[in-house]
Amino acid sequence: MYRVGVDLGGTNIAVGVVDENNKIIGRGKVKTALPRPAAAIFDDIKLAVDQAIEDAKISMDEVVSVGVGTPGSVNKNNGYIEFANNLEFENVPAKEMLEQRIGKTVYLDNDANCAALGEAVGGCGNGVKNFVAITLGTGVGSGIIVDGKLVNGVNFAAGEMGHMVICVDGEQCNCGRRGCWERYASATALIAQTKDAMRHDHDSKMWELVHDNIDSVSGRTAFDAMRLGDATGKAVVDRYIYYVACGIINIINALQPDIICVGGGVGHEGETILAPLRRHVERERYSIYAKNQTKLCSAQLGNDAGIIGAALLDF
């Protein structure tokens, strides 16, 4: 028997058919195309699920369940996505709507929780009881595992580390607060920071990298420019990494997990981001003299972590 995992992201809806060995054997993918109503997004989830089933060369009768990882907070008692600011969802009856479309039992959880579960079961956190996964993508997500179990909290919204404030009265966040970590450490934030630096330095190599089209800036632009020796690109990267480190140090001080893994689009930079992150952490963590310290590493499963974790939600 097989399980289907859905990673509902701000940019793409990615679906995988997962076998009993937690391997993806079939895939489907469509654009999220925000902003638009939940019903239209759920129609495309059904489309991507059908694509994955066809790609896996199985029938829907062989699927036990469908799990969906979504941004925001999910009430697991009633299956509602109570709030997802990036999707503009408020109290959306997602479980009911998706079960009507797919015809299978649907389980839901926060997307970062799913990524953490996927990594904990089959990735870099395998065998570790206390584990945090950070995703640096459209937003900043985080999933927390304590004593081998996902931490959901009294209202199933625990783990929203992206919305802890790191700069009082800082930039306005979509969640309603100012100065949230997400506004400084997400890929979206990095792109904005890169564009701002480019506007102040028209001689930066970043302009060459995007062929003088600022709308082509991505989360890689500043990193690529830094590798070419561009001082402005390096300044953007250094400042961005310090923003990321600020939140990670807060997490270490609060939870002292065995491992924090960094994933998402920016996480693909690997040691380019991890090495300076470790230096910041070693200098500023509260547990500076402790023998046992939190390990920082890259997520091993990449974008598949959320799919695999979502598929495992029925356990």
Same domain? 26 vs 165: no
Specify which residues 8 forms β-bridges with: 13
Q: Which domain CATH number covers 109?
A: 3.30.420.40
113 and 134 fall within a common domain? no
For residues 173-190, average pLDDT: 95
For the chain, give the percent of residues with pLDDT over 90.
79
Residues 134 and 279 in one domain: yes
- Count of domains for the chain: 2
Q: Is the pLDDT confidence value at 90 over 80?
A: yes
Q: Are residues 154 and 281 in the same domain?
A: yes
**92 and 241 belong to one structural domain:** no
Q: Are residues 39 and 113 in the same domain?
A: yes
Are 68 and 136 members of one domain? Answer: no
User: Tell me: the pLDDT tens digits for 11-69?
Assistant: 899 999 999 999 999 999 999 999 999 999 999 999 999 999 999 999 999 999 999 99
Q: Pick the residue with more confidence: 68 or 159?
A: 68
Examine the domain organization and report whether 102 and 195 are in the same domain.
no
Please give the pLDDT value at position 311: 96
Between the CA of residue 69 and those of 45, 149, 234, 239, what are the distances in Å? 12, 17, 34, 30
Alpha-carbon distance of 223 to 200, in angstroms, equals: 18
275 phi/psi in degrees, rounded to 5 = -60, -50
Same domain, 163 and 268: yes
- How many CB atoms neighbour CB 292 within 10 A? 8
Domain range enclosing 67: 2-119+304-311
89 shares a domain with 8: yes
Given a cut of 80, whether residue 127 has pLDDT beyond it is: no
Q: Does residue 125 have a pLDDT over 90?
A: no
Return all residues near 36 (Cβ < 8 A) that are at least 6 apart.
none
Its pTM stands at: 0.80
CA 188 to each of CA 71, 184, 185, 230, 302: distance values in angstroms, whole numbers, following the listed order: 15, 9, 8, 21, 18
Q: Does 115 lie in the same domain as 246? A: no
pLDDT (tens digit, 9 = 90+) per residue, 185-243?
999 999 999 999 999 999 999 999 999 999 999 999 999 999 999 999 999 999 999 99
What value does the mean pLDDT take over residues 255-272? 92
- Residues 131, 280: one domain? yes
